């Protein structure tokens, strides 16, 4: 037998089929139902904003990697995920150039200055949103009403009628109730935004956050089928918000409408797709639970006592900052270790 | 029925269908063997033959040097033609005795001990030591040492590791099916040595045949209990196996005997039986020759010292171009660059991966997905260990429990960034050990 040439590599010699690209692509697939829902409810404008965000995110990542003289890794789909998630937390009526600016900021400042994928401290999409909210607060808080598929407005590129979001109206009504103005305001908010309309997403709000059912569909794909996310963060996060909302979310103790708080705003989107962002969330199981608890507490504080009606974005960003510390504090017990 | 298991772990495809149903074949006695004097963990044996000496099959050619060491025997009859440094499948070079056969196969007669009642535990241990038996699952720790726990350790259970969790390998499975009674006798011998009356046989659920055979053969025998385990990697790692069967945790950096358990592999049990009852030294073993790059995958009983090349030719040779030839299974086996290396006591499999199936991976940055954290059977944080090892931060590696790693490779298997985490961990262990020695 002639001398054979053999490859020599360290063990293991078999590897799972998951790659960074496939994981990110799975996230994109999981976001598809919500993309569809956003187009159904907010019209063709939604699609334009999503495409703009994705295009500018990918483009700015490409330019950054070329300028930084690093291998171009735009085919790992991470910028696509960032683009979609950023679009999901923008109002449907936002001008496309502002959305584009947000995408560029998210990638350049949120991700690339830290060294690119794997090194960023904060969720890039939320960095982009926080930047836009600080810079264009009016654009960022005017919510257009959902459209009917048959209406002429559905395909129109111009702003439709705007309204306050569920959480915005809730906050005003809560303040009225707390200062002794009666609970009629709160009741009317609850009846205007029934749990079923919040669940299906037929309410004003950011592009991708309104349809709870579409988001859950994608989340189950990621959670049970692909197993890319674990229960720790989403369950503790949502349960904390629900519990605290029940206790202190009403005019008096134990009168809060917890289902309203869970299904409105960006909680479901944030819990399954943003708080679970691999790079910026803790890697230890206990760490993930602490992350969920902390973020839930922050959402409650911001929604009930803070200046903004919604707190999902900031709750996750603040917990992102605490992630390295949480990881250090929650090192798992080693097998056979007695503490 | 509820399957026992340990927390975490991975589910690679087991690929055992290639050889699972194939009975063990005998390979003809080879013309030439290369027998390394170090085929085990511990000190290399001292050579007691010289070039030109005539040796018989089973004759001792290497004497155990020290407590943790093992005797080495000739596997064929013939003349010693060379004693030199050669490559071994473990990756290191070792002093080897090269024997050229004369075509005959004359065995040295050792005493056969049919009646075990006449033997004391010490006698049996001496026979096991004399016959050069080592752990045959791959770690090759001298068996007589493992059967001699210190006085202060109370042993109450013997666990037979029949999990065979490495994908592709089926040699233990075949032994369990074809040599059921002999392995049971081997277990009885070990129980007598340890003076205990409780043994478990841990079998993964993808080997129902073996489990049912044991159930049938052990009918009425309460002392030996076959236990069905979930098919999960690394079910056959000592610590994971003990956790699954007895729900005991071997202390961090401790040994199974710290929780009153001794673990032995199926192949070892059979070797012990053959050594004691048949008077046969460890000079041959069953090797699973498998993979999609080999023409006729087989379970082959081969003499130790025969080259990988001859074994591969015996199995019809390569299909097209071979990509990798691995000593052992795909998870922990060592890739070979030279196929003239000999089969040694720890060679449980020869796995040939075809060239087109060898994928070259490039390392991407860690995306902190925590998949490695969620699978590590030792509850370590593999990604952090790899990160510190890469930065030569050995103190941090030590602090994060690098020595608790069992090197099963589950972390590298699941990593989507294709970082070879376990390799960085092995590197850190080596480096820290070297520094401690200095």
Asked whether the beta carbons of residue A7 and residue B358 sit closer than 8 angstroms, the reply is yes
Q: How many domains does chain B have?
A: 3
For residue A222, the model assigns a pLDDT of 94
Token pair of B48 as six digits:
């007691």
Does B296 share its domain with B376?
no
Asked whether the beta carbons of residue B364 and residue A76 sit closer than 8 angstroms, the reply is yes
Phi, psi (5° rounding) for residue B288?
-85, 110
Which residue, of B277, B306, B321, is where some domain finishes? Answer: B277
In a domain? residue B11: no
In a domain? residue B139: yes
* CB-closest option in B333, B368, B414 to A279: B368
Does B133 share its domain with B193?
yes
Q: How far is CA A98 from CA A103, A141, B283, in A?
A: 9, 13, 76
Q: What is the DSSP letter of A223?
A: I
Domain ranges (residues) in chain A: 20-140, 164-328
Does B120 share its domain with B63?
no
* CB-closest option in A7, A23, A336 to B239: A336
In a domain? residue B342: yes
Does B73 share its domain with B217?
no
Flag whether residue A332 sits within 8 Å of chain B, measured between CB atoms: yes
For residue B91, the model assigns a pLDDT of 83
What is the Cα–Cα distance from A305 to A134, expressed in whole angstroms? 19
Flag whether residue B12 sits within 8 Å of chain A, measured between CB atoms: yes
CATH number at residue B330: 3.10.20.600
For residue A158, the model assigns a pLDDT of 65
Asked whether the beta carbons of residue A14 and residue B333 sit closer than 8 angstroms, the reply is no
B322-341 residues touching A, CB cutoff 8 A? 322-326, 330-337, 339
Q: Mean of the pLDDT values across residues B302-317?
A: 95
Question: Is the Cα dihedral B252, B257, B261, B264 positive or negative?
Answer: positive
Q: Residue B421 belongs to what domain range? A: 371-437
In a domain? residue B58: yes
Can you give the pTM of this predicted structure? Answer: 0.92
Token pair of B27 as six digits:
């390979």
In a domain? residue B416: yes
CATH number at residue B226: 3.40.50.11540
* Structure confidence by residue, pLDDT tens digits, B356-405: 999 888 899 999 999 999 999 999 999 999 999 999 999 999 999 999 99
What is the Cα–Cα distance from A260 to B127, expressed in whole angstroms? 76
DSSP string of B306-366, one letter each residue: -BHHHHHHHTT-BSS-EEEEEES-TTT-EEES-TTPBP-TT--EEEEEEGGG-PPP-----
Does B223 share its domain with B320?
no
Phi, psi (5° rounding) for residue B322?
-80, 145
Choose among A93, A63, A94, A75: nearest CA to A28: A75
Q: How far is A261 from chain B (nearest CA, A)?
A: 29
For residue B115, the model assigns a pLDDT of 83
In a domain? residue B42: yes
In a domain? residue B315: yes
Token pair of A309 as six digits:
């009606």
Does B425 share its domain with B319?
no
Cα A140 to the center of its chain, rounded Å: 16
What is the Cα–Cα distance from A120 to A126, expressed in whole angstroms? 12
In a domain? residue B322: yes
Which residue, of B277, B294, B325, is where some domain finishes? Answer: B277
Q: How far is CA A151 from CA A35, A37, A41, A107, in A?
A: 19, 16, 11, 36
* Structure confidence by residue, pLDDT tens digits, B169-190: 999 999 999 999 999 999 999 9
R_g (Cα) of chain B, nearest Å: 21
- Predicted ipTM of the assembly: 0.90
Asked whether the beta carbons of residue B365 and residue A14 sit closer than 8 angstroms, the reply is no
**Residue keyed to tokens 């990604």:** B383
Does B57 share its domain with B89?
yes
Please say whether the beta carbons of B326 and B358 come within 8 A: no
Which of B318, B371, B384 is the best substitution to test chain A (most A C-beta atoms within 10 A)?
B371
Flag whether residue A336 sits within 8 Å of chain B, measured between CB atoms: yes
Mention every residue, 6+ apart, whose C-beta is less than 8 A from residue A39: A46, A47
DSSP string of A153-199, one letter each residue: GGG--S---EE--HHHHHHHHHHHHHTTS-SHHHHHHHHHS-HHHHH
Which of A11, A17, A277 is the best substitution to test chain B (most B C-beta atoms within 10 A)?
A11
Asked whether the beta carbons of residue A12 and residue B418 sit closer than 8 angstroms, the reply is no
Does B120 share its domain with B264?
yes
What is the Cα–Cα distance from A214 to B127, expressed in whole angstroms? 70
**Residue keyed to tokens 């820290």:** B432
Asked whether the beta carbons of residue B167 and residue A14 sit closer than 8 angstroms, the reply is yes
Q: Note down pLDDT in tens along chain A; length 339 residues.
A: 457 789 999 989 999 999 999 999 999 999 999 999 999 988 888 999 999 999 999 999 999 999 999 999 999 999 999 999 999 999 988 999 999 999 999 999 999 999 999 999 999 999 999 999 999 998 888 887 787 666 767 777 666 667 788 888 888 888 888 888 888 888 888 888 888 888 888 888 898 898 999 999 999 999 999 999 999 999 999 999 999 999 988 888 888 889 999 998 899 999 999 999 999 999 999 999 999 999 999 999 999 998 888 899 999 999 999 999 999 999 999 998 887
Furthest CA-CA distance within chain A: 94
* Structure confidence by residue, pLDDT tens digits, B135-165: 998 789 999 999 999 989 999 999 999 999 9
């Amino acid at each position: 037998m002639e001398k054979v040439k053999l490859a020599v590599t360290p063990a293991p010699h078999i590897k799972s089929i998951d790659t960074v690209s496939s994981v990110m692509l799975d996230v994109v697939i999981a976001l598809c139902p919500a993309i569809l829902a956003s187009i159904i409810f907010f019209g063709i404008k939604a699609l334009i904003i999503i495409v703009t965000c994705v295009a500018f995110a990918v483009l700015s990542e490409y330019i950054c990697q070329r300028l930084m003289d690093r291998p171009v890794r735009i085919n790992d789909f991470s910028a696509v995920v960032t683009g979609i998630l950023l679009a999901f937390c923008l109002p449907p009526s936002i001008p496309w150039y502002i959305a584009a600016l947000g995408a560029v900021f998210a990638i350049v400042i949120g991700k690339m200055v830290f060294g690119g994928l794997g090194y960023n401290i904060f969720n890039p999409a939320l960095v982009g949103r926080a930047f836009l909210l600080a810079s264009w607060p009016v654009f960022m808080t005017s919510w257009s009403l959902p459209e009917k598929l048959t209406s002429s407005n559905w395909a129109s590129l111009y702003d439709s009628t705007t309204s306050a979001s569920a959480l915005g109206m809730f906050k005003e009504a809560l303040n009225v109730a707390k200062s002794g103005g009666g609970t009629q305001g709160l009741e009317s908010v609850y009846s205007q935004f029934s749990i079923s309309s919040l669940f299906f997403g037929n309410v004003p709000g950011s592009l991708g956050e309104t349809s709870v059912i579409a988001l859950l569909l994608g989340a189950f794909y990621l959670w049970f089928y692909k197993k890319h996310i674990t229960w720790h963060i989403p369950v503790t996060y949502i349960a904390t918000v629900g519990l605290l909302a029940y206790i202190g979310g009403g005019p008096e103790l134990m009168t809060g409408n917890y289902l309203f708080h869970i299904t409105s705003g960006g909680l479901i989107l944030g819990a399954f797709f943003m708080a679970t962002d691999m790079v910026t969330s803790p890697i230890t199981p206990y760490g993930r639970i602490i992350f969920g608890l902390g973020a839930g507490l922050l959402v409650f504080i911001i929604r009930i006592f803070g200046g903004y009606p919604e707190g999902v974005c900031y709750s996750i960003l603040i917990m992102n900052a605490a992630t390295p510390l949480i990881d250090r504090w929650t090192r798992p017990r080693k097998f056979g270790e007695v503490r | 029925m509820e399957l026992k298991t340990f927390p975490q772990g991975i589910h690679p495809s087991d690929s055992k269908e290639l050889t699972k149903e194939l009975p063990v074949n005998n390979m003809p006695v080879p013309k030439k063997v290369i027998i390394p004097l170090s085929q085990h963990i511990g000190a290399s044996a001292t050579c007691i033959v010289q070039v030109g000496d005539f040796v018989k099959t089973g004759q001792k050619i290497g004497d155990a040097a020290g407590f943790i060491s093992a005797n080495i025997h000739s596997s064929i009859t013939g003349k010693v033609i060379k004693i030199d440094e050669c490559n071994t499948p473990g990756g290191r070079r070792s002093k080897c005795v090269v024997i050229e056969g004369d075509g005959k196969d004359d065995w040295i007669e050792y005493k056969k001990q049919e009646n075990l009642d006449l033997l004391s535990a010490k006698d049996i241990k001496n026979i096991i030591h004399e016959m050069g038996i080592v752990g045959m699952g791959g770690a090759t720790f001298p068996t007589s040492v493992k059967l001699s726990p210190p006085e202060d350790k109370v042993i109450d259970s013997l666990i037979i590791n029949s999990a065979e969790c490495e994908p592709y390998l089926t040699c233990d499975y075949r032994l369990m099916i074809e040599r059921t009674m002999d392995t049971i006798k081997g277990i009885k011998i070990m129980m007598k040595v340890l003076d205990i009356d409780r043994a478990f046989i841990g079998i993964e659920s993808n080997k129902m045949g073996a489990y049912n055979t044991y159930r049938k053969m052990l009918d009425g025998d309460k002392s030996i209990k076959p236990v069905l385990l979930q098919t999960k990697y690394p079910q056959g790692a000592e610590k994971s196996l003990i956790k699954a069967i007895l729900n005991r945790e071997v202390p961090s950096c401790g040994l199974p005997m710290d929780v009153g358990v001794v673990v032995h592999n199926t192949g070892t049990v059979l070797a012990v039986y053959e050594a004691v009852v048949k008077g046969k030294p460890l000079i041959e073993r069953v090797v699973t020759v498998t993979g999609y790059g080999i023409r006729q995958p087989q379970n082959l009983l081969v003499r130790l010292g025969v080259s990988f090349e001859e074994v591969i030719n015996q199995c019809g040779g390569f299909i097209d171009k071979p990509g990798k030839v691995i000593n052992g299974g795909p998870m922990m086996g060592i890739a070979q660059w030279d196929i003239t290396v000999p089969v040694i006591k720890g060679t449980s499999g020869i796995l040939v991966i075809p060239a087109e199936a060898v994928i070259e991976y490039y390392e991407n940055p860690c995306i902190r997905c925590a998949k490695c954290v969620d699978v590590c059977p030792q509850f370590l944080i593999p990604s952090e260990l790899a990160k510190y090892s890469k930065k030569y931060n050995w103190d941090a590696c030590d602090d994060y429990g690098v020595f608790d790693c069992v090197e099963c490779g589950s972390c590298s298997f699941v990593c989507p960034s294709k970082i070879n985490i376990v390799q960085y961990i092995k590197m850190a262990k080596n480096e820290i050990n070297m520094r401690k020695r200095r």
